């Protein structure tokens, strides 16, 4: 799911706590295994011209903000 889908489908809803639910996942050791060919299916990466792969820190920061700030605020306000 993209951030835009979350924004339009959940965060802009009139009553998101009643009409939405969210499941987040944590995959352990993913950052340690970012070179694995399938890692790109689960984490945003940056690939340099030389072919080295690293975690996209900016994308991770946006994802963290979405999960811990924006989505959490929706459900915390419903309690």
Domain span at residue 39? 3-76
With 70 as the cut, is the pLDDT of residue 78 above it?
no
Q: How confident is the model at residue 45 (pLDDT cuts 50, 70, 90)?
A: very high
Torsion angle in degrees (nearest 10) through CA of 64, 16, 2, 57: -10
What mean pLDDT is reported for the chain? 85
Output the pTM of the full model.
Answer: 0.73
HEC per residue, 43-73: CCEEECCCCCEEECHHHHHHHHHHHHHHHHH
Q: How confident is the model at residue 10 (pLDDT cuts 50, 70, 90)?
A: confident
């Amino acid at each position: 799911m993209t951030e835009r889908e979350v924004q339009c489908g959940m965060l802009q809803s009139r009553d998101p706590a009643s009409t939405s639910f969210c499941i987040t996942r944590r995959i352990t050791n993913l950052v340690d295994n970012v070179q694995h060919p399938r890692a790109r299916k689960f984490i945003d990466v940056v690939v340099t011209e030389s072919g080295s792969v690293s975690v996209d820190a900016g994308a991770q920061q946006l994802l963290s903000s979405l999960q811990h700030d924006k989505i959490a605020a929706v459900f915390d306000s419903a309690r």
